Amino acid sequence: PAPRTVLLTGAAGGLGTLMRGLLPAYGYELRLFDMNPIEGEPGAVTAELADTAALREAVRGVDAILHLAGISLEAPFEKILRANIEGTYNLYEAARAEGVRRVVFASSNHAVGFTPRPREGDPLIPVDTPRRPDTYYGLSKGFGEDLAQLYWDRYGIETVSVRIGSCFMEPTSVRMLSVWLSPGDGARLFHAALTAEDVGHTVVHGSSANTRLWWDLSTARALGYEPQDDSEQFAEKLVAEQGELDPDNPAHSCLGGPFTTDPPRRPH
């Protein structure tokens, strides 16, 4: 049966707020979890992923988990370790203990951020491209994907790991034209990931049907995802402001964009 009650972790964040608005239309009842309180949502659980008792209670009885909570940008390793690595482990342990069978994990393009972006005529980046994290943040997303694989192989908990490109109301850079996931397509993709059958552990790229797409959406489409949006509507304005991507600029040469260079770590 399609999952009805879904625990949404990271519900106070940018993407969590967008999905709180969009997912109920698909028939989901959302249970909310975040370390930050959410105004107007007295039923939300306000706790850290480090609070294993709160987490266990929060997952009890849900049909699936949409795991968005975590640090969403680069940060010192110790912080990433606690929130993203230990936090995601705690989440899966709670799911295992309470018998939750399906997780949708918010992975990121930054798990493979040092992958060169395709140039004219190159094939799209496939979903089995080797991991090339561009930050400790991206490294933690690779860890989450491997944890998902372990919990499928060992415990039969299914996961769709969605390597999200950039999910915001609008793209704000020329790079984002290639990786943008419109909020509406984000909801479509999460819905497909929550309901598709026999996913085991599946990794998908999370973008809209962008004219300037860099990566292959076939594993996402195989779940039933049919993107409706294209970032090209924003291209003229962004290119006028920022220019086209510069082939000589290292911050423009890889999928992860400025995450690969900011702060500078090595010569390119």
Cα–chain-centroid distance for residue 70?
11
Task: Return the axis-axis angle of helices 183-195 and 14-22, rounded to nearest 10°.
Answer: 70
Q: Does 88 bind ligand 15L (CB under 6 A)?
A: no
Question: How far does the chain reach from its first CA to its final CA, in angstroms?
Answer: 50
Number of residues that this document lists for the chain: 268
Residue 108 binds ligand 15L, judged by CB under 6 A: yes
Task: Give 91 or 111: the residue with its C-beta nearer to ligand 15L.
Answer: 111
Query: Using the rule CB under 6 A, which residue among 166, 182, 231, 253 binds ligand 15L?
Result: 166
Residue 241 CA to residue 247 CA, distance in Å, equals: 17
Q: Which of residues 216-235 bind ligand NAI (CB under 6 A)?
A: none
Is residue 260 involved in binding ligand 15L (CB under 6 A)? no
CB neighbours (10 Å) of residue 246?
Answer: 12
Under the binding rule (CB under 6 A), the answer on residue 14 touching ligand NAI is yes
Q: Is 261 in the site for ligand 15L (CB under 6 A)?
A: no
Q: Which is nearer to ligand 15L, 110 or 191 (CB)?
A: 110
- Of 31, 67, 102, 110, which lies in the binding site for ligand 15L, with binding defined by CB under 6 A? 110
Which residues have C-beta within 8 Å of that of residue 209, sequence separation ≥ 6?
185, 217, 227, 228, 229, 230
Return the residues of window 64-83 that contact ligand NAI according to CB under 6 A: 68-72, 83
87 binds ligand NAI (CB under 6 A): yes
Considering beta carbons, is residue 68 or 157 the nearer one to ligand NAI?
Answer: 68
User: Sheet containing 64-67: which strands, arranged edge to edge?
Assistant: 45-46, 29-34, 5-9, 64-67, 102-108, 158-164, 201-206
Answer for which of 34, 134, 145, 185 binds ligand NAI (CB under 6 A) is 34
* Residue whose C-beta lies closest to ligand NAI: 13
**Residue among 88, 90, 109, 161 that touches ligand 15L (CB under 6 A):** 109
Task: Answer yes or no whether residue 49 interacts with ligand NAI by CB under 6 A.
Answer: yes
- CB-nearer residue toward ligand NAI: 3 or 13: 13
10 Å CB burial of residue 84 (0-12, 13-18, 19+) is buried
* 3-state class (DSSP) for residue 75: coil
SS3 content of the chain, % helix, strand, coil (to 5): 40, 15, 45
Q: How far is the CB of 267 from ligand NAI (least distance, A)?
A: 27
46 binds ligand NAI (CB under 6 A): no
Distance, CA of 39 to CA of 58 (rounded, Å): 19
Q: Is 208 in the site for ligand NAI (CB under 6 A)?
A: no
Site for ligand NAI contains 161 (CB under 6 A): no
Bridge partners (DSSP) listed for residue 163? 107, 205
Catalytic residues: 137
Distances in whole angstroms, Cα of residue 208 to Cα of each of 142, 191, 234: 22, 14, 13
Q: Which residues bind ligand 15L (CB under 6 A)?
A: 72-73, 108-110, 166, 176
Q: Which residues bind ligand NAI (CB under 6 A)?
A: 10, 12-16, 34-36, 48-49, 68-72, 83, 87, 106, 108, 164, 166-168
